[in-house]
Structure 1
Amino acid sequence: MPLAFWRDFRRRDQPRSALVCLAWVGQNFLHIGRYAADARAQDLPLVGGGVHDWTYLLETVGLLTHDIGVGMTFDLIGCALIAYSVASLIRPGPAEITPRTTASS
């Protein structure tokens, strides 16, 4: 869902709103990482019960033994997206930068 909002704000040429949505995407990646890393241990409670999605997905592609690494990768991507978004929001945009005037002697 946040990715759809990001795309919509990009199309409307609202970069700051798009960056907030990109940080939201990053925050989602942090949650995905937590659940992916739990694929073997299955310590986290499942809302719907049944099969742990990440156990099934990682087992299907042969990466179940790497669940913690996969989770850390999602965490890294999430942190990078959040850091990029925050840094871009803090940095002044082209319209906010005023040119320097030089003093003539």
Structure 2
Amino acid sequence: MSAYKVVGVMPDVIQAEIEDILGDQNIIWGELKGSTALATGAKGLIGSALARALRAGNKRYGLNINIVAHTRQTHGDIRSEFPMEVPPDYISHKLLRNGE
């Protein structure tokens, strides 16, 4: 038997963090209504947390945010042409290089 217990779809800690984000008065959720958000690195810790928070915001506040979760690109430049039918209104991107 595992020492870890997953409750529902998400572990309790992740769900609690999402609830904190949804209740944060500094986030103006209404400004995101109907927008397209591109989250690069969506398989990583920060990118996946952002995608989950946006999805939860969609559900809680009925925002109809189009979430584009880009998971892996081993080469390229975020400033170059990005093949999307609808250009994003918001982009979350952080490039971390090993050793820098």
Larger radius of gyration: 1
When the two structures are superposed, what TM-score results if normalisation uses the length of structure 2? 0.21
When the two structures are superposed, what TM-score results if normalisation uses the length of structure 1? 0.21
Q: Which has the higher helix share?
A: 1
Q: Which has the higher strand share?
A: 2
